[in-house]
Structures are given as structure tokens and as C-alpha cells.
Amino acid sequence: MLESVREYHSLRYGSYIQQLQVLGRTEQTFLDPLRPAARDVLLSSDYSRENLLTIRGDALRDDEPQAGIYAHILWLKSDPSDFYLYVGQSSNMQLRFDNHRDRKYRTNHPSLHYYVWDNFDVNEEFVVLALTDAENPLLLNLLEMWASLMLQTLSKNALAKYLPSEMLAPYAGRHLNVALPILQTSPSKAPELHDPWDYHTSNPVVREYYNSMRRRFYELKFSPNAAHRDYYEGVIRSTVIMRYKASIMNLAQILEGIERRVYVKPRPNGFYQELFINHFKFGISRKWVHLEKNAPVQMRAELLTVDEFQRNGSALTVYCPKATEKDPAGRLSIFVEGTSETGTPFAGWIQNRGPKGVFHTNTFVDLLEGGSMAQSSHLPRRWVSTTFERGDGKRQKKHKYTEDCS
């Protein structure tokens, strides 16, 4: 796990993991906080309900808050062998347990965890896996991630990313953790999933957490577990999703990474998949991946400066391969990642080889660099969108291409 975390999240965890390895304290750091009963169970590979319940949750003191990692076990009264697991962390676990068991709190903080709890006839029990220092949030995140991987409570795609394929259990993907623990920023306020498209922030660490949570939420649609699919459909139907559709992101945010929804349109020769950013659309080839309508896709642009372009030329990943050396489009690359209509993750660089793609992209780069449509209208090989008022008082858009001087 640690090598995968360091590979995918080196900025945040790289130096901490390296320090543990240099000091030879990796195993000690992870095993020492575990309660003896939890250590025996987690290292036994027997994750049956009966064995997990032997860990128990009565290790907390009443005199002061204690930080740590816990597991919540929920099983059907009609069939105790049919059970669900949720792994969590908190800087005050007793308060966390009290909140979990408060029906009003659950109502105000909807999540897959609470959906199963409140919509199935279940018994439940919390067990304490580890007690540790609340002042070390990285350790709490790593411990929770490790426990989630051992008990396989994350989505199947997340488990496949951090575990060897031969370690995936037949029940992988049926439990209740949606977000990746290693992306959390505040162990005392680990958020539950509410509106999976309703959180925007300029903090890249927090943004990564919520982007991941939205992707993992989308993967619930493909879960083998009917409870996961029912929860997904319920959230999608909720009115809070409509607020996200009305939101408008700043164009320049694509340089940091943004999320867009897929439009799938029928064409005479098949279907066309598009992502929209303000006036601009970006196609994703169905020869590469088939996407479902409204599926979330993360987009990130990389834009070379003029000096970098003059020294090195276009990147191999350039979005418009047909751009000339005078086209700003030759400096832009666009990376996308998400989940296909079959639930398989995908990631890569997209390209536009259409005859007018360079015109659109030249204008897009103009705007990324602080220009305007009015300025672009006086430049060659541009696509320009203007709005004018008709005689009846209604406003209408008009599009045109400027002169091709290449």
C-alpha cells in the first residue's frame, strides 16, 4: 500500500513515508496503534462478522477524547451472514459514535453508510481497531486506508488501484466506504457524502478529496450490491443535483483541474461524446472509451508559454496536432480521467483533428491567457461567439470564423 500511496500522492505523503522507511519504523508505526484483538483479526484474513465482533468497541476512556480508527458492522436481522462494513476515523471517537447513532444527525448528513443503516432492518456494532495521536493526521489517514484495504470496504476500482489483483476478494466493492481515506484533510471532520457534486474549493488537497469522492460515488452505479445502486439512483434524483447543473466555473480553473459532465449526442454515423466549458466543447472518441450521459469526468489543461513553445515545440500530447507554429492551439494539451459506462477507469490525453478545431482552440487559449472574444475577433484563425439583441428584444448568439491567413 505505501508504495502505491507514495506513487499517487507523493506531494503529501512522500516525505513522511520515506522518513518511516529510513528510520526502519514502518511496521512498528502501523502495528503499534492496533488493539491486540484488532491486530489478530486483521492479520488473520478471517473477516467474518463473528471474528470482527471479537474486537469489541469498549476500549474508550470516559475522561478524555481519544483518536483512532474504527469499523462499523451492520448485519441483517433476517440473515446475520449478510453484513456490511464501514471503516472510519475520528479525533474523538466516542463523540463520533454518538453522532453516528443520532438519527437526526444521520438525516442531516446523508451517506451510503447511513442509507443502509436506516433503510434495512439491521443490528449494528462499532469496534475499535486502533488508538493513536490526533496530532498526526497523516498517520490517521494511512491507518484508515490500510484498514479499508485489508477489510476491502472501498469501491472495487479503488481496491484494484492500491491492491495486487490476486488480493481482491469475491466480495470486493460491496461495503460502505466511498471516499479514499488518504485524501481527507481533517480527521476530526471527515465529511460524509451528501451532494456528490456540490463542493468546490481552491484548495488543491481538498479538491482532490472531493473529486475522488465524486468518482467513487459514480462507481456505485456499477456496484454488484443492489443497496449501492439504489442509493446512487436516489441521490441522482434529488433536487440538490440541480444546483450543481446551474453552477458556472471560471474558465481558467481547467489549468488546475475541473469536473465536467458528459453530453452524449446521436449522429448519423453513431454517437458523439462532448464536454462543455462555457462556449467550448471537447470531444472524447468512442473508439477509446464509451461514456454514459451525465457521467463526471475530470479535465486538466497544460499550457506551454510562448517561450517554452519556441524552444521545444508542441508537446507530444498536444490537443490540436494540426496547429501551425503560429497557432496558440499548438501550446495546449488536455488530460481527462473518469469511469466508463461499464465501470472501468480511464485516463489519457484527448485530441482534436477536425478542420475547425484549431480555430476554436486558438480562441480558447486566448481566453485562458486573459484575452476576450472581442480581441480574438481581430485575430486570424479564430472562432468567435457574440450575443446580440434581435428586433423582438430577445437575445441571440452568433458564431463566426475569422480569416484563415495560414
**Which residues of 133-269 form beta strands (DSSP E)?**
258-261, 263-267
Taking the whole predicted model, whether its pTM rises above 0.85 is answered as no
- DSSP character for 241? H
pLDDT values of the chain reduced to their tens digit, one per residue, 406 residues = 778 887 778 777 888 888 888 777 778 778 889 999 999 999 888 899 999 999 987 767 667 788 899 999 999 999 999 999 999 999 888 899 999 999 999 988 888 899 899 999 999 999 999 998 767 888 888 999 999 999 999 888 888 888 888 888 888 878 888 888 888 765 444 444 444 433 444 455 556 655 666 777 778 888 878 888 888 887 776 644 444 343 334 677 888 888 999 999 888 888 889 999 887 999 999 999 999 999 999 999 999 999 999 998 889 999 999 999 999 999 999 999 999 999 999 999 999 998 899 999 999 999 888 888 888 999 999 999 876 656 555 667 788 999 887 6
pLDDT tens per residue across span 244-287? 343 334 677 888 888 999 999 888 888 889 999 887 999 999 99
Q: What is the pLDDT of residue 247?
A: 36
In percent, how much of the chain has pLDDT > 90?
A: 43
Distance, CA of 116 to CA of 226 (rounded, Å): 11
pLDDT tens per residue across span 127-150? 999 998 767 888 888 999 999 999
Backbone torsions φ then ψ of 294, nearest 5 degrees: 75, 10
In percent, how much of the chain has pLDDT > 70?
A: 85
Q: What is the pLDDT of residue 212?
A: 67
Whether residue 274 contacts residue 262, with contact meaning beta carbons closer than 8 Å, is answered with yes
Distance, CA of 74 to CA of 206 (rounded, Å): 29
Q: Is 173 left (phi over 0), alpha (psi -120 to 50) or beta?
A: left
Distance, CA of 187 to CA of 352 (rounded, Å): 43
Backbone torsions φ then ψ of 234, nearest 5 degrees: -65, -40
Q: At what angle do helices 204-219 and 226-237 cross, to 10 degrees?
A: 120
Q: What's the first-to-final CA gap in the chain, in angstroms?
A: 53
Distance, CA of 6 to CA of 29 (rounded, Å): 16
| Neighbour tally for 1: CB within 10 Å | 16
- DSSP character for 393? S
- For the four alpha carbons of 384, 386, 391 and 392, in that order, the dihedral sign comes to positive
- DSSP character for 6? H
* H or E segment and range at residue 73: strand 67-76
β-strand partners of 85: 73
Distance, CA of 246 to CA of 304 (rounded, Å): 31
356 Cα distance to chain centroid:
33
Q: What is the pLDDT of residue 245?
A: 40
Q: What is the pLDDT of residue 139?
A: 87
CB-based contacts of 111, cutoff 8 Å, min separation 6: 178, 192, 193, 194
Q: What is the pLDDT of residue 241?
A: 46
